[in-house]
């Protein structure tokens, strides 16, 4: 796989992982154990995909950082707009 494809793969996987982290905290705060547990399992899966890729090439940490920002900020913005808050 080319570097650009790996970069995009890691970035998308990290977006997914951080969406899962954000939702995990939201569900944990609501004391919804099964929902939080499912998000926790997804965190492990997506986090593993990211780790397996950037261990080979440390330049992919940049993709992970970008994906992390997009995942968290995007999820919070989405939830805020969905709940009608500014």
What is the per-residue pLDDT for 37?
A: 96
Q: How far apart are CA 14 and CA 53, in angstroms?
A: 11
What is the per-residue pLDDT for 86?
A: 62
Yes or no: say if 19 and 69 are a contact pair by the CB < 8 Å rule: no
What is the per-residue pLDDT for 52?
A: 85
Query: Which residues of the chain are modeled with pLDDT < 50?
Result: none
Residue appearing with tokens 């805020």 = 80
What's the token pair of residue 83? Answer: 């709940």
């Amino acid at each position: 796989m080319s570097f650009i494809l790996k970069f995009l793969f890691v970035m998308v996987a990290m977006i997914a992982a951080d969406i899962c982290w954000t939702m995990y905290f939201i569900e944990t705060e609501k004391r919804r154990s099964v929902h939080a547990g499912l998000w926790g399992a997804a965190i492990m899966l997506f986090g593993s995909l990211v780790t397996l890729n950037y261990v080979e090439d440390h330049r992919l940490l940049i993709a992970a950082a970008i994906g992390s920002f997009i995942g968290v900020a995007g999820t919070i913005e989405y939830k805020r707009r969905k709940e009608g808050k500014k």
